[in-house]
Amino acid sequence: MAGRSSLPEGYVTPVHRALTEPILIAGAPRMATIVNGTLAAALGLGLQLWIVGLAYWLIAHGLCVFSARRDPQFVDVLIRHVRHKGYLAC
């Protein structure tokens, strides 16, 4: 046990990497990907605006991937930001 700290046996537990990393689908958070895909499908299939639905999905997914590279939990932060009132709001 050279080089280990003086913690008792069994005190340190290894944590699998999958438990700490966010769930991403194609580089974007899972919830954002599902919402974007649903809205794009509604535009493309429901309203029969194929090009608009595809363009919406490409732009929205690209923005989500860009944001997820900076902060993988940006969706949770955005939801929390929308729920809280501004400090000086009347």
Q: Are 7 and 53 in contact (CB under 8 A)?
A: no
Locate all alpha helices (DSSP H) within the chain, ordered by sequence.
30-41, 50-70, 74-83
Q: Find the domain containing 72 and state its range.
A: 23-83
Check residue 43 and give its pLDDT: 94
Instruction: Identify whether 3 is part of a domain.
Output: no
pLDDT digits 0-9 by tens, 17-76: 888 888 999 999 999 999 999 999 999 999 899 999 999 999 999 999 999 999 999 999
Instruction: Identify whether 88 is part of a domain.
Output: no
Check residue 90 and give its pLDDT: 64
Check residue 37 and give its pLDDT: 96
Q: What is the pTM for the complete model shown? A: 0.73
Q: Number of structural domains, the chain?
A: 1
Instruction: Identify whether 8 is part of a domain.
Output: no
Which has the higher per-residue pLDDT, 69 or 15?
Answer: 69
